[in-house]
């Protein structure tokens, strides 16, 4: 691997940890340079700005997660809720192995900093819309009780999952958040919420 590319990859690795720990807004270029063990000038030799560095790392995270999840293949032969369950299992396993990636992804897409919202929408809007279309296509196969609006039902599921995602992110504050017992609790809680939506709450 060429030295310059190796240095660039190293910078992204250490800066990922800084962004994950402090968030985009609080991660200064001085902090990023210190973590990488290089000058700010050298960071800007590889990346045009802090924002460019952030999105370069985010792009790499998305590529790695896409390869790990294989969502498109999974959705071809699973029903909606089974697919959600399997995806959550794979995601939680990935989270355990790469917690910094998860934290950065959650900030970027669920708690997007104001100064990045326009860029995130422009850069990843179509990607997220395409993924949403796949899930909606699968949701069309779910039989609904008479009188239930399909669009509202889908939105209820997405809002529930987004809310749980933000809750999980807020709980990832120390090493205990990486324990298997915590992961099992999160997975069971997520399944309970989806089951309540799927089967109802009234006895």
Return the pLDDT at 172: 59
Residue with tokens 């958040």: 177
pLDDT at residue 167 in the model: 76
Structure tokens of 86?
A: 């399997």
pLDDT recorded at residue 60: 93
Instruction: Report the sign of the C-alpha dihedral through residues 91, 93, 98, 102, in that order.
Output: positive
Instruction: Tell me the domains of the chain and their CATH numbers.
Output: 49-199 (1.10.357.10)
Distances in Å between the Cα of 91 and the Cα atoms of 30, 84, 94, 126, 130 are 32, 10, 5, 22, 19
pLDDT at 69: 77
> For position 1, what pLDDT does the model report?
43
Neighbours of 151 (CB within 10 A): 9
Residue whose pair of structure tokens reads 């529930």 in the numeric block: 160
Question: With contact defined as beta carbons under 8 Å apart, do 47 and 53 qualify?
Answer: yes
Q: What is the pLDDT of residue 103?
A: 85
Burial class (CB in 10 A: 0-12, 13-18, 19+), 152: exposed
The closest of 138, 30, 2, 162 to 81, measured between CA atoms, is 138
Which residue ranges of the chain lie beneath pLDDT 70?
A: 1-6, 71-72, 74-75, 77, 169-179
Amino acid 4: pLDDT = 54
Q: Are 75 and 130 in contact (CB under 8 A)?
A: no
- Report the candidate in 81, 71, 92 with the shortest Cα–Cα distance to residue 194: 81
Instruction: Calculate the alpha carbon distances from 182 to 21, 43, 106, 193 in Å.
Output: 20, 37, 18, 17
What's the pTM? Answer: 0.73
């Amino acid at each position: 691997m060429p030295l310059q590319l190796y240095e660039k990859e190293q910078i992204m690795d250490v800066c990922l940890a800084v962004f994950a720990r402090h968030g985009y807004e609080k991660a200064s270029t001085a902090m990023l340079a210190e973590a990488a063990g290089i000058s700010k000038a050298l960071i800007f030799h590889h990346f045009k700005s802090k924002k460019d560095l952030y999105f370069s790392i985010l792009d790499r995270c998305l590529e790695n997660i896409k390869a790990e999840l294989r969502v498109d293949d999974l959705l071809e032969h699973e029903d909606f809720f089974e697919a959600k369950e399997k995806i959550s299992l794979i995601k939680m396993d990935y989270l355990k192995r790469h917690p910094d990636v998860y934290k950065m992804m959650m900030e970027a897409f669920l708690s997007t900093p104001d100064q990045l919202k326009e860029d995130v929408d422009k850069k990843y809007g179509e990607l997220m819309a395409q993924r949403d279309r796949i899930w909606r296509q699968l949701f069309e196969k779910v039989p609904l009780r008479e009188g239930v609006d399909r669009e509202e039902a889908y939105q209820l599921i997405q809002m529930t999952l987004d809310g749980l995602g933000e809750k999980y992110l807020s709980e990832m504050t120390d090493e205990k958040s990486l324990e298997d017992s915590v992961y099992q609790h999160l997975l069971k809680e997520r399944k309970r919420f989806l089951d309540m939506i799927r089967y109802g709450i009234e006895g």
